[in-house]
Amino acid sequence: LKPPNRTFHGHLRLLSSDVYSQYESIRQGKQEIPKYFNFASDVLDKWSEIEKAGKRPSNPAFWWVSGEGEEVKWSFEELGFLSRKVANVLTKECGLQKGDKLIVILPRIPEWWLVKVACMRAGIVIIPGTSQLSAKDILYRLQASKAKCIITTDKLAPAVDSVASQCQLLKTKLMVSKGSREGWLNFTELYQNQSADHSCIKTRIQDPMVIFFTSGTTGSPKMTQHSQGSLGFRPLLSERYERVKPDTGWILTSVASFFDPWVFGSCVFIHNLPRTDSAVILNTLCRFPIDVLVGAPTLFRMLVQNDLSKYKFMNLKYCVSGGEPLNPEVMEQWKSQTGLDIHEVYGQTEMGIICCVCKGMKIKPGSMGKAAPLYDVQIVDKNANILPPGQQGEIAVRSKPIRPLGFFSEYLDNPKKTAESERGDFYVTGDRGTMDEEGYFQFIGRDDDIIISSGYRIGPFEVESALIEHPAVVETAVVSSPDPLRGEVVKAFVVLSPTFSSTDLESLTRDLQDHVKKTTAPYKYPRKVEFVKELPKTITGKIKRNELRDKEWGRM
Ligand code: ATP
Ligand code: MG
């Protein structure tokens, strides 16, 4: 990828100057947010025009490489052409109309991006799901969302068929495949023969665009509905990314590999890996000009287990971690081995990024940065009173009088959950934390994960971060465990490093306990330690502490 030229930022403004000035007025209360917005026509097609006029660096808009070495590169114009064909498949062949719902369960193949853009063109509400879903997960999603159509690959088609009879509203099944299957339309064939004449539908900025299911870390995933403006319009207005160079290649996360890079005309780079293998990821970073790497802490924890001095990254400049707290130890190891900082982001399916460490900001290990642009983030108590710096409370985002752009519209079909998330003028995240004098937020734990032992409130993250500093610990989860005397005590589940597999576990337990007593307040040390092969995780790689906790308390 070419370095960005000087005039590039000019084009960025060219694209967004009208909305930028509009937003300034919105902020000052002089103007309302625009009535209509569609990411395909207002962003992608604009970039296509800029590209045609020769005013955009010659990077592809989309660059995809498979584990087997296949490659796909599209300009914005090609992306437009192909996604119009797909829009015709969805509207003509599948009979979908504006507002209809489509579940998309595809691996990271180019069709995923085409379908997503096509849905925007046709106003179809997209419901993304990962291809690791089981038949039961698919049934839950089909029934909960009332989707009319599903698109998936031949691998998952049998799972869909096994539950389809229980989903009366499901009308059409589309398969991305070379083969055929009874009862299924073949996406690949239909799309190749389709016309590329399609005019993008006009959508109101508040119209629904996507329904995400939350990760399901604490129970059944919840349906969070986002509007056309929520994800596509917000980054257009935030200054956050102006400081990130726009010729960015992104890897790994799906939100970060769509809206944010394309708002800035960047290249979306995808390496479709058959499985998460650290050597393949590290080699990819050496072979391709990737500037930005985005992943959950699990990814970085896995990568630092390697000897990183063997790898010379081609372009990597910026690393982002989110989804779970990042242990300071992992951040330090990564920095000392690669010279790179990890910028933390904190967010939720409900409203995208809430806090972040932006480029150029001071990094405080163990902190997830300051409030993201457009959000007023505070620590509040049970009555929605704002707490002063240093005091522990619930992380909350101001949602009244105006619900900020970027917020989900509601939990679909769940007014009770929606109401529970509101407290006074705030939306409460369900996470506990503190804010320091400089406005940096510290994550303490999910509300339910807090351990109360002999009257002390203990956040699992701090104990986990202390444990992971010990060379024997690869990964750990800390939960409460019943205790006749103290009510509950701290218990650590520990995944051991292979080099410690033959160590005497009793003395290692004492060693770990001493280590925690030295690094944090002694009362936080884990009175119980259990060594395990792996930790229960969600599909997105988050530790399911509630599962471990339920087991401890005999609730399973
Ligand atoms: P569910 O709501 O279904 O139980 P979930 O909350 O894990 O699942 P997501 O919306 O994917 O679903 O995750 C948001 C949550 O992830 C946050 O509320 C927070 O607990 C955690 N999280 C995200 N980023 C960070 C971070 N940087 N540090 C600490 N925790 C984080
Ligand atoms: Mg949640």
Q: Provide the pLDDT for residue 249.
A: 41
H or E segment and range at residue 380 = strand 377-380
Ligand 1 centroid distance, CA of 214 (Å) = 9
**Percentage, residues of the chain above pLDDT 90:** 62
Task: State the sign of the Cα–Cα–Cα–Cα dihedral 382, 388, 394, 397.
Answer: positive
Q: Is 369 in the pocket of ligand 1 (CB under 6 A)?
A: no
Residue 242 has pLDDT above 50, yes or no: no
Question: Is 265:47 a contact under the CB 8 Å cutoff?
Answer: yes
Q: Provide the pLDDT for residue 55.
A: 79
Angle (CA) 288-289-295 rounded to 5° is: 85
Mutate to test the pocket of ligand 1, among 214, 255, 394, 538 (most ligand atoms within 8 A of CB): 214
Fill in the amino acid letter for 433. G
Considering only CA atoms, which of 289, 347, 296, 282 is closest in space to residue 316?
A: 289
Using CA atoms, how far residue 98 sits from 331, 520, 536, in Å, is 45, 55, 39
Q: Is 344 in the pocket of ligand 1 (CB under 6 A)?
A: yes
Which ligand neighbours the alpha carbon of 356 most closely? 1
Q: Is 325 in the pocket of ligand 1 (CB under 6 A)?
A: yes
Tokens of 259: 């809206």
Q: Is 148 in the pocket of ligand 1 (CB under 6 A)?
A: no
Which ligand neighbours the alpha carbon of 221 most closely? 1
Residue 117 and residue 124: Cα distance in Å, rounded?
10
Residue with tokens 């200054």: 239
401-448 pLDDT, tens per residue?
888 888 898 999 999 999 999 999 999 999 999 999 999 999 999 998
Can you give the pTM of this predicted structure? 0.85
The atom number, within ligand 1, closest to the CA of 429 reads 18
Residue with tokens 């769940």: 414
Q: Is 542 in the pocket of ligand 1 (CB under 6 A)?
A: yes
Fill in the amino acid letter for 150. I
Residue 347 and residue 295: Cα distance in Å, rounded?
13
Question: Is 45:80 a contact under the CB 8 Å cutoff?
Answer: yes
Q: Is 215 in the pocket of ligand 1 (CB under 6 A)?
A: yes
Using CA atoms, how far residue 99 sits from 115, 142, 238, 288, 293, in Å, is 15, 16, 28, 39, 34
Q: What is the mean pLDDT of the chain?
A: 87
pLDDT band at 79 (very low <50, low <70, confident <90, very high): very high
Using CA atoms, how far residue 306 sits from 115, 262, 309, 354, 465, in Å, is 37, 32, 9, 31, 19
354-381 pLDDT, tens per residue?
999 987 889 998 899 999 878 999 999 9
Q: Provide the pLDDT for residue 362.
A: 93
Tokens of 33: 């947010």
Mutate to test the pocket of ligand 1, among 420, 443, 547 (most ligand atoms within 8 A of CB): 443
Q: Is 464 in the pocket of ligand 1 (CB under 6 A)?
A: no
Tokens of 401: 């009088």
Segment 173-180 mean pLDDT: 95
Which ligand neighbours the alpha carbon of 216 most closely? 1
Q: Is 460 in the pocket of ligand 1 (CB under 6 A)?
A: no
435-463 pLDDT, tens per residue?
999 999 999 999 989 998 888 889 999 99
User: Helix or strand or coil: residue 62?
Assistant: strand
Question: Is 252:242 a contact under the CB 8 Å cutoff?
Answer: no
Ligand 2 centroid distance, CA of 428 (Å) = 11
Higher pLDDT, 556 or 421: 421
473-524 pLDDT, tens per residue?
999 999 999 998 888 999 999 999 999 989 999 999 999 999 999 999 899 9
Ligand 2 centroid distance, CA of 290 (Å) = 30
| 20 burial type by CB count under 10 A (0-12 exposed, 13-18 middle, 19+ buried) | middle
Question: Is ipTM beyond 0.90?
Answer: yes
Which ligand neighbours the alpha carbon of 448 most closely? 1
